Amino acid sequence: MDSAGELRVFGCVYVIAKNSRRKKTSLGADTARDEMTGLLTKQTIMDYIQNAIANKTSKLSYLCVMDVDNFKYVNDHFGHMFGDEVLVTVADIIKDAVEDCGVAGRIGGDEMLIFVENVADRAELKSVLRTIRTNVEWAYKGVRDDLHLSCSMGAAAWPKDADNYDDLFKIADKMLYRAKENGKNRYIIY
């Protein structure tokens, strides 16, 4: 009770996600991470990439834009809770694939941004992207026969393809849409 004799209630908010590696968090504790997926937030990943480019802290690096193919279908046919589970699963796949070579963030709905810094060459980048694509495709195989999950990605190299974030993003985004136009479930590197 406060000094006026009124009862006050204080508490803590816990978020428990079935497939998340992060089991609990307090409200506002980590504004740099997307609450559901544990990936960096849009602003945090953009700031990170812009800082790396501005400070030239990275050698050849790649900006990848990714989204889950037909994600609206997942939400419409299986429900938003299952859609959230899919996003957490995809985020975990991305985190596992880039843990030693880059960072990833969620920039909206089912769209992710991946910045790969510590790869020797284009072949190594392809290996990372192929791992993500394959693991997303196989995430629900044998679990749900009515779900055919896949993702599309577009990538561009810094400083080879563009020397600033905006141009680099535009090129990678264009490659994403080219991947979608060419049948989805693939990656295209500029």
Q: What is the pLDDT along the chain (190 residues), one digit of tens a residue?
A: 556 666 554 443 434 444 444 444 444 456 899 999 999 999 999 999 999 999 886 688 999 999 999 999 999 999 999 999 999 999 999 999 999 999 999 999 999 999 999 888 999 999 999 999 999 999 999 888 889 999 999 999 999 999 999 999 999 999 999 999 999 999 999 9
pLDDT of amino acid 1: 54
Whether 100 is a known active-site residue: answer no
The tokens for 96 are 């596992």
Evaluate the CA torsion angle 2, 4, 7, 9 in order and state its sign: negative
pLDDT of amino acid 58: 64
pLDDT of amino acid 143: 86
Q: Which of 34, 67, 84, 110 is catalytic?
A: 110
pLDDT of amino acid 91: 98
CB 179 within 8 A of CB 186: yes
pLDDT of amino acid 146: 87
Q: What is the pLDDT of residues 51-107, one digit of tens each?
A: 999 988 668 899 999 999 999 999 999 999 999 999 999 999 999 999 999 999 999
